[in-house]
A = this chain, B = another copy of it.
């Protein structure tokens, strides 16, 4: 019962000392110390602490199978990016840089043939995206899987506008050909705000922070024997490219989406002329 302000942290650390799993034990003891350090630094009243508890509760209540408000909170606190940075520094040199998964990978992407349109290229800037999945030494990886998802030209994912589009629009699961190549038709995505109708939006509002992300296309590339890789391709010149609300932009992932004026090539690709084209190669590291 040695309960004093001096002892208030050590008694909790001691309580966690018998955790059988060493990784869990270290994690919880470290959390206890850092959490208590924060609380001691800000020295809150119990009423203030209840505001924090209420905030976490409302964040939990905002989560369902279509919305992960806690991951969004982690995103705007830069923790998701930090974890990605920590993890990716262990990755093999030469692999494509990773970035955050984001909150919109909540439905299975429909399997599509190479060259297919993941959304109708009739609204917005029609666009051809092509690339290859390669080993870090540049060898193609035939049969690699490329999972793609993106917002439309207004910045909306399918799941946000299900009264207008079917689920799966703007998504595609592709298999690379014998040269490791993948390619598909789409439109150039627009920048968009992360969802602001929940506790995370409230936080951004209270802190004078904007909710916007620069335009991007999500990728997960996988191949047998390789580390799977989660990343974005960012649209060069997009608004917010220097001020991503979730801190996930990396220079090596910014790609030009140039206008191409070539009637023959456009006809071959099934796209209007002119249209825009972006190229994104993905280098995977072999599992050791």
A-side residues, CB < 8 A to B, are 1, 3-5, 8-9, 11-12, 15-16, 18-21, 24-28, 30-32, 34-46, 49-50, 53, 56-61, 63, 68, 70-71, 74, 77-87, 89, 101, 206-209, 230, 241-242, 244, 247-251, 254
Assess the B71–A1 pair: CB atoms within 8 A. no
Contact A36–B209 (Cβ < 8 Å): no
Neighbour of A34 across the interface among B3, B12, B34, B84, CB < 8 A: B34
Of all chain B residues, which has the CB nearest A59?
A: B60
Q: With a CB–CB cut-off of 8 A, which chain B residues contact A16?
A: 207, 209
Which secondary structure characterizes the binding site on chain A?
helix
Chain copies in the assembly? Answer: 2
Q: Is the CB of B81 within 8 A of A53?
A: no
What B residues does A25 contact at CB under 8 A? Answer: 207
Bound together, the chains give a CA A12 to CA B79 distance in angstroms of 9
A86 near B247: Cβ-Cβ < 8 Å:
no
B81 touching A8, Cβ below 8 Å: yes
Question: Of B36, B60, B78, which one neighbours A70 at CB under 8 angstroms?
Answer: B60
B49–A38 touching, CB < 8 Å: no
Are B206 and A35 closer than 8 Å at their CB atoms? no
B56 touching A11, Cβ below 8 Å: no
Q: Please determine whether B36 and A79 come into contact, CB atoms closer than 8 angstroms.
A: yes
Find A53's partner among B19, B26, B70 (CB 8 Å cutoff): B70
Closest to A82 in B: B8
* Interface core residue of A11, A46, A248 (most chain B CB under 10 Å): A46
Q: Which of B41, B45, B49, B208 contacts A19 (CB 8 A)?
A: B208
Q: Are A49 and B30 in contact (CB under 8 A)?
A: no
- On chain B, the residues within 8 Å of A85 by CB distance are 3-5, 8
Of the candidates B18, B53, B242, which one forms a contact with A1 in the assembled complex, judged by CB atoms under 8 Å apart? B242
In the complex, residue of chain B having the shortest beta-carbon distance to the beta carbon of A74? B53
Q: Of all chain B residues, which has the CB nearest A203?
A: B28
On whether the beta carbons of B63 and A24 are closer than 8 Å, the reply is no
State the Cβ distance, A230 to closest chain B Cβ, in Å. 8
Q: Please name the residue on chain B nearest to A61 by beta carbon.
A: B60
Is the Cβ of A53 less than 8 Å from the Cβ of B71?
yes
Chain B residues, CB < 8 A from A74 = 49, 53
A50–B57 alpha-carbon span in the complex (Å): 18
Given A38-B34, A60-B70, A68-B53, are A84 and B12 also a contact pair (CB < 8 Å)?
Answer: no
Q: Which of B34, B63, B248 contacts A60 (CB 8 A)?
A: B63
